[in-house]
A and B are shown apart, each in its own frame.
Chain A
Amino acid sequence: MRLLLARSIILIAFFGLWEFASGRWVAPIFISRPTLVFQTFGEWVMDGTLFFHAAITATEAFVGFFVGSVAGVVAGLVLGRCVRVAEVVEPFIRGFYSLPKLALAPLFILWFGIGMNMKVAFTATIVFFLVFLNTYTGVRNVSRELITILKLMGATEQYLLRRVVIPSAITWMFAGLRISAPYALVGAVVAELVAANRGLGYLLASSAGQFDTAGVFAALVGIVLLAALLNFAVGLIEAKSMPWRKSGEMSGLAI
């Protein structure tokens, strides 16, 4: 309760200061003013502009996230279990990983145009590496001794993968998914900034192009809200997928 109060005070003070400073200390062209920002935001909500662009950005982020994470999980599992192959391809992956993904944007425009496909490809590339590296680490982290003991029991590779490796690595996979979820949005927005004619990134860029500072801030608010929604969804899925972690925590509390 006190936490909530403290946060409210900070928020009110921040907006108060902003409103006060605007036009007195700093020209409104740079920082606009909160009332104007919320007015613009309100207008976008009322006429549906916000939902139209947010839906496009969300779709790009979601599809890119989905494609990238599926590819990342599969590649992580396969390479995690085939150490020989992993050893061979490691330098290629490392090289590709160290390439700034933004540098790929022009190539993707060339391949996919400036429509949604290019944003999806861009987002998927970013998500892929984060999920892949986490899944791979998770798989490699499964105790070799445990694997040996189960193999001595006669366990097949399929059994190990299904009953041991995937459940063991799932914490890591989720860490990867969790980390990459915000990056999916980053990917979509950045790709829209590079080249687009719709989406929140486009809204942001076009507002800035028209020196509509209130519009820039309003678009940022939209992006923040979308990001919060995304994080909430990931947290929800995570809690649903690993119920045993909860039971462990409960026993910890009981002691």
Chain B
Amino acid sequence: MPDVEHSSGTVLTGRPPFVDFSHVSKNFGFEPNVVEAVRDISLTIREGEFITLVGPSGCGKSTLLSMLAGIYAPSAGQITRAGRPIEPFSGQVGYMTQNDHLLPWRTVAQNIAVPLEIRNLSSREAKLRTDELMRFVGLVDFAKSYPSQLSGGMRKRTVLARLLAQDADTFLLDEPFAALDAQLRLRLQIELRRITRELNKTTLFVTHDLEEAIALGDRCVVFSPRPGTIKRIIEIGLPRDRDLLRLRHDPAYIALTTQLWDEMAPLIESEGDR
């Protein structure tokens, strides 16, 4: 492996830990119908690190995100963020899913301003910040459009800008680009890498797309299902400022995707036609 990649891989290892899962388990339901969603997850994520999570459906990836967001508490174990236990709804954790969830009666600019309104910014400040964000994600020409008038990609950009307006330090992204076509997805992946790197956001990114998991992540966590446990953590070690457009031919990238496929193949096989 070339030296450059190695050194840029180690830049992160020097960073302080930011999110820590320690022997975390989560059960749903009551006896005798308890479903064990995740079991004994331990994972330390550094500040500004981009973690991708892959695994068969129902392996508890989303459960892990929800617990980090504070939507529900773990049944056992501890989670800390920035050295403190999780405070639910503190505004420090941003969430994005496959669905856009924009408010249809608000324009792009007004949608982006929602978190600013929630934080009670003055309308002048909010306007400045909204304009800045729209420039940042390339939405300036669409400020006055309604979501129903936008393409899928533009809607995603709006959601991304709204997420940034929230000013959270942790991003929880649950298959945000799953419904997009391949080219659009690639453009948004490039955008997301740029944003999270420039703004130093700690990111957990759930995906079913193994190439996406390698292309975006600093590390990739492979889950095995029922109950969800960590099967393997893959150090990706590609440069942090990697060029996603050229990645496809990078031998290191190819080796990593092959490795990830090999990890996933038995899980996919055992899943059968359930």
Contacts and interface: CB of A to CB of B under 8 A. Distances in A.
A149 interface: yes
Give the one of A145, A152, A167, A247 with max B CB within 10 A: A152
Interface in B81-112: 89-91, 93-97, 99, 101, 103-105
Contacts of B93: 152
B174 to A, nearest CB: 9
A210 interface: no
A251 interface: yes
B114 A152 contact: no
A145 B119 contact: no
A26 interface: no
B62 to A, nearest CB: 11
Nearest to A244: B105
B61 to A, nearest CB: 16
Interface string B163-174: 000101000000
B200 interface: no
A251 B91 contact: no
B128 interface: no
A149 B91 CA distance: 10
Given A248-B148, A251-B148, A251-B149, A154 B103 contact: no
A152 B117 contact: no
Interface in A137-163: 143, 145-146, 148-156, 159, 163
A154 B89 contact: yes
Contacts of B99: 143, 145
Given A149-B95, A153-B91, A159 B105 contact: no
B90 A154 contact: yes
Nearest to A252: B148
Nearest to B104: A244
Interface residues of B, number: 25
Nearest to A164: B103
A156 B118 CA distance: 8
A153 B115 contact: yes
A152 B101 contact: no
B69 interface: yes
B146 interface: yes
Given A154-B118, A244-B146, A248-B146, A149 B101 contact: yes
B254 interface: no
B71 interface: yes
Contact of B95 (A143, A152, A159, A163): A152
A159 B118 contact: yes
Nearest to B107: A244
Contacts of A155: 118
Per CB-CB distance, the 3 closest pairs between chain A and chain B, nearest first, are A154-B91, A146-B101, A244-B105
27 contacts: A146-B101, A148-B95, A151-B89, A152-B69, A152-B89, A152-B91, A152-B94, A152-B168, A153-B166, A154-B91, A154-B115, A154-B118, A154-B119, A156-B118, A164-B103, A167-B103, A167-B105, A168-B103, A242-B105, A244-B104, A244-B105, A247-B146, A248-B146, A248-B149, A251-B146, A251-B148, A251-B149
